[in-house]
Amino acid sequence: MNTEPVINQDEIDRLYLRLKKEAEDSGYYLNPDTDFTKALIRSLIINEGRYGYWACPCRLADGIKSEDLDIICPCDYRDADLVQYDTCY
Amino acid sequence: MAKHVPGRKGPYIMLYALSTCPWCQKTKRLLDELGVDYYYEDVDLLSGDARRDVMVDVERWNPNRSFPTIVIDDSRCIIGFQENELRNLLKV
């Protein structure tokens, strides 16, 4: 059985443009590898459908918002990750 | 139950991943490209006891519980998408 969620490409592209503007207005830049960034955005949309909020696609969410506040994008670890990896984890 | 991707026999490779994580997807693609035999578990698709049991294993190797976590021969752990390290370790 294929359980892969169907995510509309237009939705990903629209959210990409919105997040790009929001990031740049705050002094951040999205990863210039747009395919990679859009894969992340697709996963944010999947997690919004699963949990109701943008849990980080690279961290395991509990599914209970009060337990996941630290990993909702942009997460509490972003700036530390930028220092360590030059990118968010 | 971990999924098995058949390939060239070598070290026992267990990849703990999240289905939503692009770094995990890159790791799977690299292992596929290298043609090695490996097992993987998309931990976010598990629930209940199955998830808890797998996370006990992940935490044993990687207390930060980050993904991807790759355990090789039950003796060595690589955390994150470490392309060069994996290529060197798993080259023919």
**Contacts A57 to B, Cβ<8 Å:** 18, 20-22
Interface membership of A75 toward B (CB under 8 Å):
no
Q: Judge contact between B41 and B28, C-beta under 8 A.
A: no
What CATH number does the domain located at A9-85 have?
3.90.460.10
Interface membership of A60 toward B (CB under 8 Å):
yes
**In chain B, where are the structural domains located?**
3-90
CATH label, B3-90, candidates 3.40.50.450, 3.90.180.10, 3.40.30.10, 2.40.30.10:
3.40.30.10
Interface membership of A57 toward B (CB under 8 Å):
yes
Q: What is the pLDDT of residues A36-65, one digit of tens each?
A: 999 999 999 999 999 999 999 999 999 999
DSSP string of chain A?
---PPP--HHHHHHHHHHHHHHHHHTT----S-HHHHHHHHHHHHHHHHHHSS-B-TTS---S-HHHHGGGBSSPTTHHHHHHHHSS--
Q: What is the pLDDT of residues B19-43, one digit of tens each?
A: 999 999 999 999 999 999 999 999 9
**Contacts B59 to A, Cβ<8 Å:** none
Q: What is the pLDDT of residues B47-73, one digit of tens each?
A: 999 999 999 999 999 998 999 999 999
- Given a cut of 80, whether residue A3 has pLDDT beyond it is no
